[in-house]
Amino acid sequence: MFGLKGDWSLEVKERYFTLEDYCGAEPRWCTGCGDHGILAAVHRVCRDAQLKPEKTVAVSGIGCSSRLPHYMNTYGFHGLHGRALPVACGVKSRRPDLDVWVATGDGDCFSIGAAHWIHAMRYNMDLTVLVFDNGIYGLTKKQTSPTTPLDVPTNTHPSGALLPPMNPLTVTLGITNISFIAQIVDWNAQLRHEVIKKAHAHKGTSFVRIIQRCPVYVESIGKTLQDEPARLKLLTHEKGVQVDDTVKRQFPNHAEHDPSDIHAAREFAENPDELPLGILYLNPDAPRYDLMSAAGLEMTAEERLAGLNEALDHFAI
Amino acid sequence: MSDSHVEGDTRYLFKRDKTWWVKVAVPRTLRDELGYDLRRSLHTHDLEAARATRWEVIEEFRSEIEKVKALRGGETDEGKQSPGNRESRNGKSQAGPIAVDQHIVEIVSDSGEGAQKCGQLMGLVSGKMGNGVWTVEIIPAEIQPPARSQQGASGIRVRMGSKYMTNMGNEADMVVAFNEQVLYSRIQNGAYREGTVVLLENMWAEDPEPAVREQYAEALADFKQRGLVVHELPIQQECLKIVSDPRKGKNMFVLGMLCHIYDRDTTMAKEEIAKIFRKKSDTVIKINHDLLYAGYAFARDNIDYQFSITTAPEDRLDSVVVINGNQAAGLGVMAAGIEMVAMYPITPATSASHYLAEDFHLTGGFVHQAEDEIAAIGFAIGSSYAGKTACTITSGPGIALKTEMIGLAVMAEIPLVIIDVQRGGPATGLPTKIEQGDLLAALFGAPGDAPKVVLAASTISECFHFVVMARKLAESFRTPVLILTDANLATGVQAIERPDVTDEWFAPPIDQSPWDRNVPPYDWDEKTGLSERPIPGMRGGEYILTGLAHNRNSKIAYDTRSNQEGMDMRSRKLAALAATLKAPEVHGDPEGDLLIVGWGSTIGAIEEAVDLARAAGKNVSSVHLRFLSPLEPGLKEIFSRFRKIKTIELNYSDAPDAPLSGIENRRYAQLAYALRAHTLMDIDCWSKVPGHPLSPATIGRVIDETLEQMEGAE
Ligand SMILES: Cc1ncc(C[n+]2csc(CCOP(=O)(O)OP(=O)(O)O)c2C)c(N)n1
Ligand code: SF4
Ligand SMILES: [Mg+2]
């Protein structure tokens, strides 16, 4: 009568998780790679939320960034190039009890996986989606990605990218039923942590585009932004993200932005001269497909069997 | 695992579901009296018992055959009895209906005129009356082909018989046509023979357009020339007495006609009509009932044909469901306890999802319509990884897109059920038509070595049961399982024994008990390659699944030893599965001149053709394969007992005498290709891509020709 239950509900000692409980294998990213900082933020958010490692799943595609699950001590799914989102949606579809994270790259998400990006945003299942956007194909050694800036030379376009880069924020803000859009740079720990924490807490698909440094292949992208913080604009709001003065000093350019205002969000997103940082849009009430796809989960075997017989009755003569 | 496969002497025996039956073929000349064969249930599930009791029944059947033969005396001249003469001989019915053992009727029209509904009801009522029924839909490729176009035939074929029907049969005995042009595509398909009765709407003779009147007159003359027996009927005019727009309703009038012609129970038809229109008003139901009765009365007063299709009481199944193969697969998904089907619409697979969308909630399931086929299988894989083995349903082009994901499921050992309702390929191919063209893609269509389980359902009943089996195999062997069905099964409707469902078929509730941290996520058993998998939520089982080469700990490992070991283990699982299978049953004698090998939906036509040939004294048998990966054991041994082995398939192969084709470069049919590699035997093939199912008569000709060639070669 007083035995332990399978779901640990009678455990006498509360489980408390430290950062180490979320650390998997030793990261193999290059020194100076922005991915390290993002991983640290994910570990911290997991720790702060005291997520059970066995109930947490990190899903990724293929790319440098998609190695992230290996560096977690949770469940993980390192799948195919471009296909992290459908897999993550599938994981969530019948397992509302799992906390699902997605790590994807600019090639993974905006190029080969573009169809899934558009549709996963619209499904608005409860996922935390982190796009590691280094503006290049890292793993395959410096090919042009959809977000490679004009004139940056790559191995597929040695005299520089030919077309202007795609703007993932305006694209995402154009998708019906999005519920959370944010942008950060990998090199500010506090902003990084605050935004990812909010993204994780949000119920629905949280899309975080992370401008990430790849010093090995496109050092200039990160460097320009670090050297010229005026090209960034920090958006803060009580409904969005709040940071302290040290952060504000780093980003001298800031504005108050109510993230429920999608029109204002679109304006910030469209400005080519000042990349917005912070939460651009947040709608806690957008319909969630994961709540729909879980329909019927509670049915017992007897009920299912009765239902099956009813289905057969439809064809009986 | 496949208890349908039995070794040893099964002469004259066959198994329907679990019960053993005796079957004795009837000589061709006596078929009008006795039907294709005589059969009776032995009321036992036990093969030994059936073996012992069969002889008494066989003797009884033999003496019955002898008796009829004696009665017929010298009257058994082949020509007189050919089915082509059947109607002209006894079609005129003065003294009640003529008893026939089977009849094939088609209803063809422009699309949207309800011919299919009419045929479905005809099939349903016949099934209820105890007949064996097989219906196939005749589907134009476009949604709305122009009216009165030769390629626009939309309709249905209904084969009704005293016995259990397993295929669409040969040429139709009767066809009701709403206009004359739509008959042409059917004529091109060889659907009719000399003597086929055509009941033709005659309104076109009076059409205001002179061109239409001309077409009609021309066609009429042409049909007569072709030996069709045409009766022009004022169907439209009769319907106008009841409804103002007979485009809606003519089908019910025709149903009434057919009810009279085939002596069907109109009360049953009436009930079914009321069921169909249950969501409409009573007036709608009444109009349709009026049309039904008007058609019945019209036929009674104006049409001389009347037939009754005898039913053999022992052939009646106790409890049946009337379903097509896609509904069967959908029900199989539910019976397997699968909760998630992720799909993207593609003909002819979609109707399985349509069906599930209607009823899946009854078992707590959900249909996810994904943004494309890759996303569909990705979603299913995600759900499976999280412990809820899912299913994705598609057709050839979808399989092509899913290939990389199937490879991932193999590599990472994710259970998954994939249903491929095959259609004609390559590319967009023949979207609505049948082909067995995906076998090699199913077996080999992934980079690297990607061993997986591939099954082929050959009957509507198997479309159901194989899904249940597939989920179990997928989980036990930690692998994707691909089930091949096809457009013929998808749209063929049949009364099958109602499956005796049990919750033991359901997936067990997902295990969330802790995982022993000392057990790696791929704890491969050296002998079988099998391992248990941790499921998210299991404490201590945390692992990172990867599509990269990995070791037992699911750690990325590119080293030679790990890669080899992973490959070995995944392949060994198939060997372990093969070791549990039994050799397939030979239909007919276990040895002889010719062995036909088939797979998938051709089973009914092949076995019917083999039975006919055997009744005519030919030394031919057949064997039908259900497991294509791994292949069922014992094939080489079975094959070695025949002088010649030939596969019959609905996919492409070079004809042996095709220009530039020779022994060195002939491209073989897909199963033949696989079997040649597997057995190192010189297996021949006959295959075609007609876009429609093979008839027993076509297969019969192939058998005859092959045997003749073998004789000639001696
Ligand atoms: C189907 C397929 N196509 C191509 C590749 C090769 N590939 C692997 S990662 C990658 C691009 C990765 O770029 P990104 O998503 O930006 O990730 P990063 O490495 O920059 O983090 C490519 C093209 C693949 N693995 N699979
Ligand atoms: S190549 Fe670039 S993105 Fe990849 S690990 Fe190195 S620095 Fe990071
Ligand atoms: Mg990148």
pLDDT digits (tens, 9 = 90+) for B156-203: 999 999 988 889 999 999 999 999 999 998 999 899 999 999 999 999
**In CATH, what number is assigned to the domain containing residue B594?**
3.40.50.920
Q: Under an 8 A CB cutoff, do A72 and B513 touch?
A: no
Last residue of a domain, one of B550, B580, B610: B580
Question: Are residues B477 and B527 part of one domain?
Answer: no
Identify whether A7 is part of a domain: no
Residue B661 to residues A257, B664, B668: CA-CA distances in angstroms?
74, 8, 11
User: Highest mean pLDDT: which of B73-77, B274-278, B424-428?
Assistant: B424-428
Q: Check whether residue B169 and residue B103 sit in a common domain.
A: yes
d(CA B592, CA B618): 9
Clarify whether residues B189 and B129 are in a common domain. yes
B79 within domain boundaries:
no
CATH number of the structural domain spanning residue B496: 3.40.50.970
Query: Is A27 domain-assigned?
Result: yes
**Same domain, residue pair B644 and B594:** yes
A301 exposure class (CB count in 10 Å sphere: 0-12, 13-18, 19+): middle
| Cα distance between residue B197 and residue B179, in whole Å | 15
Question: B498-536: buried (b, 16+ CB within 10 Å) or exposed (e) per residue?
Answer: bbebebebbbeeebbeebeeeebbbebeeeebbbebbbb
Examine the domain organization and report whether B544 and B634 are in the same domain: no
Integer Cα distance of B710 and B714 in angstroms: 7
Please list, residue by residue across A140-177, b when 16 or more beta carbons sit within 10 angstroms of its beta carbon and e when fewer do. eebbbbbbbeeebebeeeeeebeeebbbbbebbbebee
Please report where in the chains the tokens 């064969």 appear, as a residue: B37
Q: Which CATH number goes with the domain that contains A33?
A: 3.40.50.970
By the 8 A CB rule, do B139 and B154 touch?
Answer: yes
Is position A199 within any domain? yes
Q: Which chain B residues are Cβ-neighbours of A298 within 8 angstroms?
A: 364
* Residues of chain B with C-beta less than 8 angstroms from the C-beta of A75: 534, 536, 541-544
Task: Give CA–CA dist A230/A226, Å, rounded.
Answer: 9
The reported pLDDT for the residue numbered B385 is: 98
What's the domain count of chain B?
A: 5
- Ligand 1, residues A137, A213, A219: which to mutate, most atoms within 8 A of Cβ? A137
- Residues with beta carbon inside 6 Å of ligand 1? A 62-65, 81, 105-108, 132, 134, 136-140, 145
For CA atoms A243, A245, A251, A254, give the dihedral sign.
positive
Q: For residue B83, is it within any domain?
A: no
- Asked if residue A14 belongs to a domain, the reply is no
Domain annotation covers residue A102: yes
Pair B298, B170 in one domain: yes
Within a domain: A3: no
Q: Are residues B293 and B175 in the same domain?
A: yes
Q: Of B377, B378, B370, B369, whose CA–CA distance to B399 is shortest?
A: B377
Residue nearest to atom 6 of ligand 1 (CA): A140
Give the span between the Cα atoms of B20 and B585, in whole angstroms: 13
Quick one: CA dihedral B371, B373, B378, B384, positive or negative? positive
Q: What is the pLDDT of residue B84?
A: 33
> Quick one: tokens of B630?
């791994």
Q: Which range of residues forms the domain containing residue A203?
A: 19-313
Asked whether residue B4 is domain-assigned, the answer is no
User: What is the SS3 assignment for B325?
Assistant: helix
User: Looking at the domain assignment, is residue B200 inside a domain?
Assistant: yes
What is the C-alpha separation between B568 and B396, in angstroms, rounded?
Answer: 29
Q: Same structural domain for residues B275 and B147?
A: yes
Q: Rounded distance, CA B190 to CA B173, Å?
A: 12
Task: Identify which of B148, B156, B153 has the alpha carbon closest to the alpha carbon of residue B219.
Answer: B148
**DSSP code of residue B456:** E
Q: What is the pLDDT of residues A278-295, one digit of tens each?
A: 999 999 999 999 999 999
User: What's the domain range around B609?
Assistant: 586-713
Do B332 and B407 have their domain in common? yes
| Out of B323, B404, B408, closest to residue A315 by CB | B323
Final residue belonging to a domain, choices B276, B292, B315? B315
Average pLDDT, stretch B7-29? 76
Average pLDDT for B49-66: 85
pLDDT digits (tens, 9 = 90+) for B109-161: 998 899 999 999 999 888 888 888 999 888 876 777 889 988 888 999 999 99
Shared domain for B675 and B632, answered yes or no, is: yes
Answer whether A291 touches B (CB < 8 Å): no
The answer to whether B412 touches B545, Cβ cutoff 8 Å, is yes
With respect to residue B706, please indicate whether it lies within any of the assigned structural domains. yes
Residue A176 lies in a domain: yes
- Does B85 map to a domain? no
Cross-chain residue pair B361–A70, CB shorter than 8 Å: no
Residue B225 in any domain: the answer is yes
**H or E stretch including B90?**
helix B86-90
Q: Which of B468, B502, B536 is the last residue of a domain?
A: B502
Band (B316; pLDDT cuts 50, 70, 90) = low
Inside any domain, residue A304:
yes
Question: Is the same domain home to B574 and B598?
Answer: no
Evaluate whether ipTM surpasses 0.90.
Answer: yes
Share of chain B residues as helix, strand and coil, in percent rounded to the nearest 5: 40, 20, 40
Say yes or no: CB of residue A57 within 6 Å of ligand 2.
no
Q: Which residues pair with A161 in a beta bridge?
A: A150
User: What's the CA angle centered on B100, arms B94 and B102, to 5 degrees?
Assistant: 140
Q: Which amino acid is at B293?
A: Y
Going by the DSSP 8-state scheme, the letter that residue A111 receives in this structure is I
B8: confidence class by pLDDT, cuts 50, 70, 90: low
What percent of chain A is helix, strand and coil (3-state, nearest 5)?
40, 20, 45
Residue B62 lies in a domain: yes
What's the total number of domains in chain A? 1
Do B612 and B564 share a structural domain? no
Angle at which helix B115-128 crosses helix B266-276, to 10 degrees, equals 130
In tens, the pLDDT along A28-52 reads 999 999 999 999 999 999 999 999 9
Pairing of the two strands B493-497 and B132-138: antiparallel
pLDDT tens profile A188-229: 999 999 999 999 999 999 999 999 999 999 999 999 999 999
